[in-house]
Structure 1
Amino acid sequence: MTARRLSLAGSRAASAWSCAGVLAAMLLGACSSDRPAPSPLTAFEPRLSAQPAWKKDIGTPAAELSVVAFRDRFVLASRSGTVSTLDALTGDVMSRVDTGVRLGAAVGADGTHVAVVSQDNELVVADRTQVRWRVRLPARVVTAPLVAGERVFVQAVDRSVEAYDVLDGRKLWVYSRAGDPLALAHPGVLMAFKDTLLVGSSARLMALDPLTGTVRNEMVVGQPRGTNEVERLADLAGPAARVGDSVCARSFQVAVTCLLPDRGSLLWTRPLGGFQGVGADSDYVVAADASDRISAWKRNAGDVAWSTERLRHRGLSAPLVISQAVVFGDAEGWLHFLSRDKGETLQRFPTDGGAIVTAPVQAGPMVLVVTRKGGVFAFRAR
């Protein structure tokens, strides 16, 4: 299994590491040759009626791909620049648009418009049939844009946020703040919460007015620690999970925290290393650490509900929590369904052998994952 790699961004990144300029050695154990062998898959008795539904091939996925799920469709993008909307139940193509550029961060969508960022740092916005506008961005972007409220929001690795009018591309505002000289070049937190825009900025979750970019409040998710700039990296790693009035998020290599953005207050925080995002429902919050040890906490109080090491070193994706199970993809292309209350294996499916590169997403009864080989696999989970 190839080691997962995290990049540094900032003025001192080039001299910070010798392992191909990535954060694998100290923070994730070592470079690929030193990664522990993945835990072997163990026998289990299937106890979930999930089953494969359909599969597609989109070609190589965008370098930093997020899939947008609506009730009846999925929106996703290939690195070659094609954005596809697929019927969730059948996999049929509902619409397809070619952006004409190779994609880096993708994709944001609101049901009418889609937004992507090219490898050359160009923001491209299209409707279901054609590109409407494009604009050059001043800083590198690895987090998928957010399309909401007739605006397109873009978060750069320098922690700045820009807002554009979705119809004509007019820049509406820019938010930035001084921060640490190094940042984590990994998809962060950029999400809508009621009438507020939530943005990860270093170890803080910022609540911004989406109309003006002004700060409504800010909440600390993980307290940076360590003796040097790399050890003090604590940027928020997406995806975060919203349940009702609460949002739960991960601070890289520090903690998993649940907050109440309306109040700007903390519910609870628990120390946990790692860099993938979290999943949650009304009962549980779930995340894996850097070694893929999985933990679940009771959402309201943060008490540990269970933990398991059955999938250690398997290169897990961020989780999805559905009504029947907790769902993880791994670096060998397996999709794992674990019980919500105990973490036991309920079901397991192969894909095409390529690493699952997105957090599983759900639309209606369908759970979808995308592999590094470009395979799109949907499973009926109820």
Structure 2
Amino acid sequence: MNFLSRNTARMAAVALAATLGACASNDDKEDTDPVELVDIEPSVELREVWSENIGDIDARLYAMLQPGIAAGRIVAANSEGDVVAFERSSGKRLWETELDVEISGGVGVGQGLAVVADYRGRVEALDLDTGEEVWSHQLSSEVVAAPAVGSGRVVVQTVDGKLIGLDASSGEERWSHSTTLPVLTLRGTAAPVMSAGVVYAGLDNGKMVALDATDGIPRWDQRVAVPQGSAELDRVVDIDGSPVVRGDLVFAASYQGRAVALSREDGRGLWARDASTHHSVAVGAGNVYLSDAGGSVYAYNVGNGQIVWNNDDLLRRQLSGPAYFGDVLVVGDLEGYLHVLDPASGKIVGREEIDSDPVRIPLLADGDLLFALSDDGELVALRLERG
């Protein structure tokens, strides 16, 4: 079944046009094909610990069904409505719940819940221990990003520009924050992030907001990207990657805009650099890392934003957002490869193929394990080993 609204179909078309624009400067075939991989001499290995197939992820509707991790388990969902919990370290299947929905946003975990949402805007909260339904709530519009769970709230971002705080116990709506959307946006929204009772969210108008998780009262809002150009397509500046909170700073990046470091307290900008990405950034080893819309990977100094290095070996390979894992950087690509980069130099020092389908859903680094989920639903846990 297809639940696309006219607005959703428009956003999907814009996403396709934007991606094509990012992948090529002209019509020559050599400029549109992904760069071929070259042999490397690996110094590290991503060794598979366990893997399970959870079912297909709907790439046609750009579902970014990132799993959630809490209480020693990882919870993942497919587009057909199946939610599955595994023991984090062994991959033992703990429970599986079949929902009669097409899941599009999930999985948020916390407060003893695993929360997902669908294209019709229905939010489903399951018991994290058993998978039994705790509550459900109908929103005004579809949800295509994972909810944030904490501080007694489930916070959901909808594609019509709203952030909504639901009571974690009952699902009742406690507050709502609305934003005026641009004429055109990319398909997708950033998943909100909750930290110390504050919700941080990137918006389709190129702004970031910080809201009190309990009552939704704004703490601050800050512009990350300024629309440029006369054509509406040129003025698309969505923030589709989740903010990253580290210490006193919040990091974010937009499409056709900038990467920024902002004060967690008041949103004041520490630095900003031109950038274009659909993904979240990663932070580690004194750098902020970004995979851009064309397939280049950048490292910026965390203190001043100066470029430390950039790697163009993976151009047009439709990279996932980067994950800082252990002491390396990892990105996925359209052919199911995970590429391991040295954070100090940007050199590719390892590679692992986990599937033949794309790995575009955000990677999850959790302690000694890295979790990757491909479009055909292959969920893989990996451990870093040095040669």
**TM-score w.r.t. structure 2 length?**
0.89
Is the alpha carbon distance of 1:306 and 1:19 closer, same or farther for their aligned partners in structure 2, counting shifts above 3 Å? closer
> Which residues in structure 2 correspond to 1:23-38 (within 5 Å)?
23-29=18-24, 36-38=32-34
- 1:161 maps to a residue whose letter is L
1:238 aligns with 2:241: yes
**Mean Cα deviation higher: 292-301 or 103-112:** 103-112
Question: 147, 168, 171: which is aligned to 2:170?
Answer: 168
Secondary structure at 1:291's aligned position in 2? Answer: coil
> Which residues in structure 2 correspond to 1:79-158 (within 5 Å)?
79-110=79-110, 112-127=112-127, 128-158=130-160
**What is the CA-CA distance between 1:310 and the residue it aligns to?**
0.8
Cα distance in 2 for residues equivalent to 1:8 and 1:300: 43
- 1:144 maps to a residue whose letter is A
Structure 1 unmatched ranges of 5 or more: 1-6
Structure 2 unmatched ranges of 5 or more: none
Secondary structure at 1:355's aligned position in 2? Answer: coil
1:347 aligns with 2:319: no
- Provide Cα deviations, 1:117-165, integer angstroms capped at 9, x if missing partner: 1233211111133112212211122111111112111111121111111
Is the alpha carbon distance of 1:284 and 1:116 closer, same or farther for their aligned partners in structure 2, counting shifts above 3 Å? same
Is the alpha carbon distance of 1:295 and 1:196 closer, same or farther for their aligned partners in structure 2, counting shifts above 3 Å? same
Secondary structure at 1:237's aligned position in 2? Answer: coil
**TM-score w.r.t. structure 1 length?**
0.90
Tell me the C-alpha RMSD between the 2 structures.
2.6
- 2:73 maps to a residue whose letter is R
Question: 263, 266, 284: which is aligned to 1:281?
Answer: 284
Conserved 8 A contact 1:75-1:85: yes
Map of 1:55 onto structure 2: 51
Map of 1:249 onto structure 2: 252
Secondary structure at 2:137's aligned position in 1? Answer: strand
Cα distance in 1 for residues equivalent to 2:95 and 2:13: 44
Question: 263, 267, 274: which is aligned to 2:266?
Answer: 263
Cα distance in 1 for residues equivalent to 2:85 and 2:27: 35
> Which residues in structure 2 correspond to 1:288-303 (within 5 Å)?
288-303=291-306
Conserved 8 A contact 1:9-1:185: no
Is the alpha carbon distance of 1:18 and 1:345 closer, same or farther for their aligned partners in structure 2, counting shifts above 3 Å? closer
Secondary structure at 1:337's aligned position in 2? Answer: strand
Cα distance in 2 for residues equivalent to 1:372 and 1:17: 17
Map of 2:42 onto structure 1: 46
Cα distance in 2 for residues equivalent to 1:19 and 1:160: 20
Cα distance in 1 for residues equivalent to 2:198 and 2:15: 38
Conserved 8 A contact 2:363-2:370: yes
Secondary structure at 1:23's aligned position in 2? Answer: helix
**What is the CA-CA distance between 1:73 and the residue it aligns to?**
2.7
Cα distance in 1 for residues equivalent to 2:79 and 2:350: 31
Cα distance in 1 for residues equivalent to 2:273 and 2:359: 27
- Provide Cα deviations, 1:310-357, integer angstroms capped at 9, x if missing partner: 111111000101232100000000011110101111211111201013
Cα distance in 2 for residues equivalent to 1:17 and 1:80: 20
Is the alpha carbon distance of 1:144 and 1:9 closer, same or farther for their aligned partners in structure 2, counting shifts above 3 Å? farther
Is the alpha carbon distance of 1:255 and 1:8 closer, same or farther for their aligned partners in structure 2, counting shifts above 3 Å? farther
Is the alpha carbon distance of 1:253 and 1:189 closer, same or farther for their aligned partners in structure 2, counting shifts above 3 Å? farther
**Mean Cα deviation higher: 146-155 or 128-137:** 128-137
Map of 1:316 onto structure 2: 319
Secondary structure at 1:152's aligned position in 2? Answer: strand
Cα distance in 2 for residues equivalent to 1:306 and 1:55: 33
Give the number of equivalent residue pairs. Answer: 374
Conserved 8 A contact 1:339-1:346: yes
Secondary structure at 1:228's aligned position in 2? Answer: coil
**What is the CA-CA distance between 1:111 and the residue it aligns to?**
5.8
Secondary structure at 1:185's aligned position in 2? Answer: coil
Secondary structure at 1:239's aligned position in 2? Answer: coil
Map of 1:4 onto structure 2: none
- 1:23 maps to a residue whose letter is A
> Which residues in structure 2 correspond to 1:9-28 (within 5 Å)?
10=7, 14=10, 22-28=17-23
**What is the CA-CA distance between 1:210 and the residue it aligns to?**
1.3
Secondary structure at 2:272's aligned position in 1? Answer: strand
Cα distance in 2 for residues equivalent to 1:17 and 1:119: 13
Cα distance in 2 for residues equivalent to 1:110 and 1:123: 15
